[in-house]
Amino acid sequence: MRRRNTLYWTCQLGGWLFWGLALMFFAFIFNNKTNDVLYPRIAITIFFGVLCTHLLREMIVRLKLRPPITARNWWLHVLTILGAILLFNLANSTAVEWLRLYEPATKVSVNTRFIFNLIFDSPLIIVWASIYYIWHYIDLGSVNEIQRVKLQSLVKELELKTIKSHINPHFIFNALNSIRALVDENPARARTAITELSNILRSSMQMEKAETITLEKELDIVKDYLALEQIRFEDRLQVAYEIDEDTLDQAVPPMMLQTLVENAIKHGISKEKNGGLVRIISDNRGNRHVLIVENTGNIQQNVLPIKNTANATSSGGFGLDSTQHRLQLMYGEKASFQIKNADTNLVRAEISLPVVATPVPQ
């Protein structure tokens, strides 16, 4: 507030002093002379200009006439500005007469001087009011833009937190189902699986506050998850990794790769009588980091209609929908996601992210 007041008085005094200097400059240039009443009259005009425009500002503030101007109170704006114009010219004319700041040979009546001032000096108040309103419209636009950006940031943050809160329970329930299948068949392995799940949960809790993690950490979670699923599927689940070591320090959204792997098993391997293969590929292609999850199976066009994030409309499940949504929130048009039939019995889910120059902290 104090800074704004300082700025206001700097502009107020600076503007009127500049106008006074301009008057003296033009009087000297065009008349090549000055008289004894010129400087005092300019000083009086500056004084009453500062006083009347400041009163105009106070009236605008008190009457709540700052922008935006509404259709209901436009007449009040006009009356307030007209009042400032009349006060400015009346005070100026009266002061000149009272202080005798005129040449006797060219003296005119107060009424005539007031009319002349009204004609020639009124634009000063109109210009001041115009500058004042334009300034506040620009300031209002800047404030609204800042608030809009803050609101968008808050909405994105809340949406990301909501997505994360759904991802973890979704993963937990699927993992628990895998462990439950082991309890009667192989209690020892079930205990080991519980330990593996504990490690996964611990890692996911530590990553809850992180927007991105390294691919290496994400792969650790995926490998633990697949180890649990291999217990349930046994020989029906085969896993292959094709990971470029240069991509291990690249940033990826936490639990995103795991979500795609989970989707591959749920909608692919579990639907196949003889099971199948899940292949995870990570590669740098130019300035893009490409993550691919391939699985045995086939997409029915009415089940998983996922396309590129730029024109996607819906998905067949929360996992894919959350993947698409997170990419849109975090990367916008810089990332893409698609899932399609790569062959007659092969589904490919592919994420393309911008390459991060600076590695994510370990």
DSSP-derived secondary structure for 176-235: HHHHHHHHTT-HHHHHHHHHHHHHHHHHHHHTTT-S-EEHHHHHHHHHHHHHHHHHHHGG
Both 48 and 171 in one domain: the answer is: no
Residue 291 CB neighbour total at 10 angstroms: 23
Both 58 and 19 in one domain: the answer is: yes
Look at residue 137 and tell me if it is in a domain.
no
Both 197 and 96 in one domain: the answer is: no
Both 277 and 337 in one domain: the answer is: yes
Both 209 and 313 in one domain: the answer is: yes
Both 107 and 154 in one domain: the answer is: no
State percent of the chain over pLDDT 70. 78
Both 318 and 280 in one domain: the answer is: yes
CA geometry: angle 93, 99, 103, nearest 5 deg:
80
Look at residue 87 and tell me if it is in a domain.
yes
Look at residue 128 and tell me if it is in a domain.
no
Could you tell me which residues are beta bridge partners of residue 298? none
139-163 pLDDT per residue, tens = 777 766 777 766 566 556 655 665 5
CATH number where 321 lies = 3.30.565.10
Query: Which whole-number Å values give the CA distances from 4 to 1, 130, 244, 353, in the listed order?
Result: 5, 19, 56, 44
Which residue in 42, 325, 55 sits closest to 337, CA to CA? 325
Look at residue 130 and tell me if it is in a domain.
no
> Hey, which of 91-95, 156-160, 210-214, 278-282 has the most confident mean pLDDT?
278-282
306-318 pLDDT per residue, tens = 444 444 444 445 5
Q: What is the pTM of this model?
A: 0.53
318-354 pLDDT per residue, tens = 567 778 887 888 888 889 999 999 888 999 999 999 9
CA geometry: angle 183, 293, 336, nearest 5 deg:
130
Rounded-to-10 torsion of CA 83, 85, 90, 96? 150
Both 96 and 244 in one domain: the answer is: no
If one counts the domains in the chain, the total is: 2
Both 189 and 98 in one domain: the answer is: no
CA distance 198 to 181: 17
Look at residue 215 and tell me if it is in a domain.
yes
201-234 pLDDT per residue, tens = 776 666 656 778 899 989 988 998 898 888 778 8
Look at residue 131 and tell me if it is in a domain.
no
Both 86 and 18 in one domain: the answer is: yes
Cis previous bond, 68, omega within 30: yes
| pLDDT at residue number 279 | 96
Q: Residue 360 has what DSSP assignment?
A: P
| pLDDT at residue number 114 | 77
**Mean pLDDT across the stretch 69-79?**
77
Q: DSSP 3-state assignment of 30? A: helix
Owning domain of residue 93: 2-120
Both 106 and 204 in one domain: the answer is: no
Both 69 and 158 in one domain: the answer is: no
Look at residue 142 and tell me if it is in a domain.
no
Look at residue 91 and tell me if it is in a domain.
yes
Which residue in 165, 155, 335 sits closest to 255, CA to CA? 165
| pLDDT at residue number 337 | 93
Phi/psi region, residue 332 (left: phi>0; alpha: psi -120 to 50; beta: rest), is left
Among residues 98, 120, 142, which one ends one of the domains? 120
